[in-house]
Structure 1
Amino acid sequence: MALNWTSLLYVDTSELPFLTARWQQAPSRFGVQNYSLEVFRKVEGAEMKLQASEVVHGTDDNRELSYKFDSVPASGVYHFEVCVLSNNCTNGRCRVSGSPDIPVQDVKLPVVVIIYTPSRASHVKCMVTLTEYLRNCCFVEALLDQLDIPDSETKDPFTWYNEAFSRADFVMVVSSPSKCCNQEGIFKNVDVLAMRLLKEKFSKPSSRPQFFSVLMPYCTEHDIPNEAKNLRMFRLMKNFDKMLWYIHNGGRFPTVVDCARSLLYPKPGGGKSYLNERGTALRAALKEAELDLREVCSCKKHDIKQSDDNDVENTKCLTKLIISCEEGNECERNMHNSVSTDHLLVIPEPLDVELPFSLDDLDLTGAGEMDVKPKKNNGALHLGIDLNKMEL
C-alpha cells in the first residue's frame, strides 16, 4: 500500500547565510527510517540541483529533523524538497514535500581588522593562518597587514590601515608574546601605527567599529596590550564558536531563545567544528608557536654567550692581576730578605743648641698666660722669638 503521508517542511533563515530546512517525521506506525533531502537554486530562470540527495536518518523520539545548508557565496532563489524513503512507495520514494522559494541576496560578510605585534616569526605565522581560516571557513572578511598591504594599490601601511579601520565592523586585538631578536615582520613599526589608530577610534564616540581582544593559547593575559585590557576577551580555542557568533550577530551574544533553539550556541561556519578537517594549518602553527616559546630566543642565547665570554675574560684579567700582586709581594719579601737597606737610613746628629727658656716653664694646657723669660746672654735672643705671643 502506497504511503500518501506528506511531511510539513519549512526553512529557518535566522542564521543567514545558513539556510536550515526543518521537517516533521512520519508517524512511527509507518515504519519510516530515512528521508531524502535535495537543495535547488534558481538563477535567471534556470533551476539546478546543487548536490546529490542527502539521506537523513530518522529518530525514535519523533522530534523535528533538520539539515543546515550554507548558501555562501552564491545568491539566488533557493528551495528544499524532502521525500520519505519507504518500501511501501513506488521505487522506495513517497510523496515529496517542498518548501517555499527563499531569495538570498549577496551576503555581506563582517569585516574584522586584526592587529597584533610581530614579536616572533612563529606568532606572525599564527596570525596568517588564523586570518586564512576565518576567510575560508568562517565567512569573515578578515584583514591582516602581512597579507593585504602588499596587494593594496598604494602598498603604504598608513593608507591601508586608515582604509581598513574605516571599513571595519570589528577590530580584533590579539595578544602577542615578548619580542625576540627585534623581529618586525615585513613592515617596521606597523603595530605602533595600528595601536595609535586604535587609540584614536577609542576617543571618538561611534558605533563602528566594535572592539574585542583575543588571547592566543601560548600567551597570558599580560600579553594583551594595555589599550585593550578592558575589552571583551575571547580565548581563541575555548571560545572560538562564541567569538564567531559575536562577530556574525553585530556584537551581541545569543538570547535565551537562541540558546533554546540550538541547545548552546548556533554553530556558524567554521569555528571549532571545522578545525580537525580544514584547520590543520592553523593547528600546526599554534603548536609551533607553543614549542617556540619554550626555547630561549636566539638573540638571548647570543647575549648569554657574550656575557659568559665577558665573564671569562674578566676572570682571566683578575687572575693575572692576582698573580701580578703575588709576584710583587714575593719580590718585596725577597728584597727584605736578601738586600740590606741600612745604607738608606739617615741618622740625624743631635743639635747642640741651648733653648732660650726652660721646658719646665711651659704651660701647654692653655689655662693661663705663660711668663717665659729667656735666659740671659743666650744667642737665641737674637732670633726675635717671644714665646708669650706664640699661639700654642
Structure 2
Amino acid sequence: MYKVLFILVCIIVQDVYASYCYPDFCQNTTNFIPESQEQCLLQPVKRGEDCKEMRFENLGHVPPSGKALAQVSLTAYVKDLEDINEKATAFNFSITNINFDRLITRYQNLGDEETSSCHRVKFYGNVTTYPLKEFHLSCPFSNNSFENNPYRLEYLISGDNYEYSRKLVFIVPNHRFIDQTVKDVAFYTPFIYIDVSDASILTLYIQPLPQRFNVSKYRVWMMNNDTNSTKEVTLENYNINQTIHHNFSVDNGVLYFKVAALHPICHKYGCINSTSPFISIKQPSHRLLIMIISFIWIPPVILYVIYHTYKLYKKKEILKRAERKPKCLLVYSPSHMAHVNVMIDLARYLRYCNINAMIDTLDIAESTNKDPVLWCNESFHSADAIIIATSPQTDEIAPVIYRNIDNQALRLLKENYPRRNKRYYALQFPYCKANDIPKEARQFKRFTMPEELDKLVKTVHEVEYIRFFGVSDKDFVDSIKLAKLQIVKTERNFQAVEENDLLLPDLQLKTRNSEILQLKEVDMKNTDSSMNSTVLKNFNTNIEELNLLGDATDGNVQTFCFNSTNRDSEFRIDTFNL
C-alpha cells in the first residue's frame, strides 16, 4: 500500500523529548503478553482488511454512569522528514484522565477506505499509580501527498466492563500554511476538526494560531446545503494554549464548517478560512405505516422509491466531489503588470473557495527545486483543470521573473489534449479582445470575468450548488477595474506602405484633373469644327493642372502646342514639341 502512517508513541511524565518514541515501561510488541514489570504494551501500525473492516459505530459513544469521558485533543504540526528531504503535516493525539485499560485508534481516508492504519495500546496494573498524566500518539504522514484530503480518526476506549468509541473528522492541512516559517497571518490556516459521534450535536474544535499573530477571536459558519441555512458565531479564545470548542445543535442535511481568524489586517470576514469535510446528518425517522388499499397506490409508491433512491445517489455523488479539493493550473501571458495582479487575485480567491489554484508567481518560489519548467510540468500533470486566460496584447513587458511559462503550458496542452484526462476552460477579461485568447484554447468553454466567477467555481468543483461564506471577490473585481484603466490597447498596423504611394496624387485630385482635361479637349473640338479641315488643330495640355507630383502651385499657365494633320485615327509621337 502506497500510503503509510508512521505511528510514534510518546509518554509524557514531566518533560517531552523528541528522541523518545515510547517510555521504558511501554514495550513494543506484536502480541499482548505482559512480562514482569511491564506496564504498557503497544503494537506496530497495522493495515489491511482487519483494520479496514473494524467497526466502532454500535459500541456506544459515552462511558457508563460514574466514569468520566476521556479528554482528547488533536493538534497539527509540521514534521521535517529528513530521509526524503521534505516536510509534511503530522498530528499529536493526546488523552488525559486515563482510567481505562485499552486504546485502539484508526486513521482512515474518507474517500478511500483502503487507506486505513490502526494502532493498539494496552495498559497493565492500576493506572492511578502511574506517574502518567498525559498519553500522546504522534503520527506523521510518510510524505505530503496526503495533505488537503479528508480523513477521520476513530478511537475505542475499553475498561473492565465497558467500552465506547468516538469519531473525529478533518481535512489534513497543507504544511506550508501551518509552518513556523509563515510570517503573515493572512496566509496562516487554522486547523479544525469536528466530533461527529453524536448525530444531534456536533462539536467543533479549533487549534489556536501561534501566539506571535496575536489572534484571540475566530468567526465560524455552519452551513446546511439542503436547507441553504447558515449559522454564524464568533468564538473568543481566553487561553492561547487551550483548544477552542463549541457545540452546535444540528438537523438533517449535509453540513460543513468554515473558520477564519479575525485580525485587523484582514477583511471583515476574517483571514484565510479553513473548511471541514461534508458531514451528512440523518436523524432517526419515525415509523411510517403505509396501507395499500388497492393497486392504484402501487405506481406512486414505486415512483417515490425510485425518486428517493435517485436523490440519495445524487447526494452521495455530490459529497464525493465536494470532499475532494480540485487542482487547477492558471495559464496566462505576463504582458502587463496589471494583468499579472489580476491573475494573482484570482488565484487567491479560488484558494479561498477550496480550490488548489496553482500559479507561477506564487508557487514556483515555494516549490522544492525552484525550477520554473519542472514546476510547470508537475503542476500541469497533477491538475484536474487547466484554465487559459485571455491576455492583452501590449508593447509593455511585465517586470516578472518567470516568463514563457505560458508557452510551456500550451506545448503540454497540445501533447496532452488528445488523452481527454483533464478539463479545459478559458477566461475572458473586459480589457482583452475576444481573439486575445491563444488559438489552442479558442474552442474551450469560456467564462466572462468577473460576471461568471461563481459559475467558474461551481464548474471546477463539478457541483450545481455550492456556497462559501467569509469569501469576498472585492480584491479581484477591483484589480480588474484598475487593469481596465492602466492597460492601453494598441492597434498594430501590419499593412506595408510603398514609398511611391506618397508621390501619387489623391484619387479625388486625379479625378478632378482628368475632368478639366476632358473639358478642354471638348472645347477645342467645338472650335475646330467651324474651320477648314486642312487647318492645323492645336491641343493645349496644362502639365501643372495634372498635379503629377502632388503639389498645388499658383502662377502663369505654360502651354505646350503640337500640330497634326487631319488624321482622326493616327497618333504620332514625333509631332510633340518635346
Quick check: which one's strand share is greater? 2
Smaller-chain TM-score bracket: 0.3 to 0.5
Quick check: which one's helix share is greater? 1
TM score, norm. by length of structure 1 = 0.46
TM score, norm. by length of structure 2 = 0.32
Asked which structure has the greater CA Rg, the reply is: 1
